[in-house]
Amino acid sequence: MNRQMKRMQERQERAQKRAGAARPPTPSAATRKAAVQERRKRTGARQFLKEVRQELSKVDWPTRRELVSYSIVVLVTVTVLTAFVFGLDSLFTRFVFDVLGN
């Protein structure tokens, strides 16, 4: 049972408690196993790395061409914004020095 299913199950249980359900259904073996795992909040390093590997296999990685184009866009944007901020800083510095008379 993955985390999303656990969360959904927890929400359902909370909703049943709020609604005042007379008696919850008898837990199945899978539910009991999930409850035992839930009590043990921390996962081991091996399990964590296994889940990380599974999630990374689901990622839609960019191609080399996309990566290069995205990198160029980022570098150009950073350069332009840096020049803009530098220009504003220079203008404000001149203005302050002119007003205060340095």
Q: What is the mean pLDDT of each run of 10 residues along the chain (102 residues)?
A: 82 84 63 69 87 94 96 98 98 93 69
pLDDT score at 7: 84
CA 10 to chain centre: 21
Do 95 and 69 fall within a single domain? Answer: yes
- Residue 16 CA to residue 27 CA, distance in Å, equals 14
- What is d(CA 92, CA 99) in angstroms, rounded to the nearest whole number? 10
Per-residue pLDDT at 2: 81
Do 11 and 31 share a domain, yes or no?
yes
Q: Which of 26, 42, 57 is the last residue of a domain?
A: 57
The pLDDT value recorded for residue 25 is 59
Dist. CA 20–CA 55, nearest whole Å: 38
Residue 72 sits in the same domain as residue 92: yes
Q: Look at residue 83 in the predicted model and tell me its pLDDT.
A: 98
How many structural domains does the chain have? 2
Please check whether residues 45 and 66 belong to one and the same domain: no
Domain with 10 in it: 3-57
Supply angle C-alpha 48, 52, 58, rounded to 5: 150
